[in-house]
Homo-oligomer: A and B are copies of this chain.
Amino acid sequence: MPKYAFKIEYDGKPYHGWQRQPDVPSVQQTIEEALYKIAPEKPSIQGAGRTDAGVHATGQVAHAELIKSWDTERLLEALNFHLRPALISITQCQVVNEDFHARFSAIERRYKFRLVSRRSPVIVDSGWVWQVQRDLDIDLMRKGAEHLIGKHDFTTFRSSICQAKSPIKTLDEISIKEFNIEHGKEFEFTIRARSFLHNQVRSFVGTLERVGAKAWDHARVKEALLAVDRSACGPVCPPQGLYLAEVIYSSKVFT
């Protein structure tokens, strides 16, 4: 059966995360229901990243096997037609080899986190950033972030319900860019790793915000990491600033 990979953009706010669950709306279920309209065999769709409730995506990847062979542009348009008015958009569609698996073939995931520091309420990006009213020091946040790069036991930055077999992961990048916005600042975090633990990115950003606000010394991030203890973590920040931005495979899937 032909196999297709999809690149997917969504607004995380109305969904209880990517993964299908009983009784609550999920991104996976919403896409599968659109798929059933054009594929009566009711195929399932497998996503690369199981984003949490409220987390957005601009570059989620998923795959499905369909009985019928489709022109990829027509498949993309048919799915988007049946998805309406859901806050989900299929932005790309490609035929992939039968051994491709959106989740298990991925070699790296890139997340983006948007943190805004401003006194006045954010309106234009409301729901798309995490806003704090405190001033934040980017140099201190960068110093804190450096302690997290590399291969570590990330138990401190892992939710207690995380199902990963091992808490040992390799963090390839956690970098921060600063932009001036109207009477405030936006900090854009880029976080890259082969894979992530549950709540890992939000645990990082929530902790680094404490460093930027000078409530934590940057060295405390290293102490927290070495404690290998969930209770040493800073506050887990809310999901609305987080985006699954890209999933990378050993060969390019999308043009």
Q: Report how many copies the assembly holds.
A: 2
- The answer to whether A9 touches B87, judged by C-beta atoms less than 8 angstroms apart, is no
Q: Which chain B positions have C-beta within 8 A of A123?
A: 9-11, 87-89
Q: Which of A87-122 contact B (CB under 8 A)?
A: 87-92, 118-122
Report the bound CA distance from A87 to B124 in whole Å: 9
Q: Does A128 contact B (CB under 8 A)?
A: yes
- Contact B76 A9, beta carbon cutoff 8 Å: no
Interface residue? A182 (CB, 8 A):
yes
Number of chain A residues whose Cβ lies closer than 8 Å to a Cβ of chain B: 31
- The proximity string for A residues 3-25 relative to B, scoring 1 for CB distances below 8 Å and 0 otherwise, is 00001011100000000000000
Q: A11-B124, A56-B124, A91-B184 are in contact. List 11 more A-B contacts (CB 8 A).
A: A7-B183, A9-B124, A9-B182, A11-B126, A59-B182, A89-B121, A89-B122, A89-B123, A90-B120, A91-B118, A91-B183
**Chain A contact residues, CB within 8 Å of chain B:** 7, 9-11, 56, 58-59, 76-77, 80, 83-84, 87-92, 118-124, 126, 128, 182-184, 243
A–B Cβ pairs within 8 angstroms, 28 of them = A7-B182, A7-B183, A9-B120, A9-B123, A9-B182, A10-B123, A11-B123, A11-B124, A11-B126, A58-B124, A58-B182, A59-B182, A76-B119, A76-B120, A77-B119, A80-B120, A84-B121, A87-B126, A88-B123, A89-B120, A89-B121, A90-B120, A91-B120, A91-B183, A91-B184, A92-B183, A124-B128, A124-B243
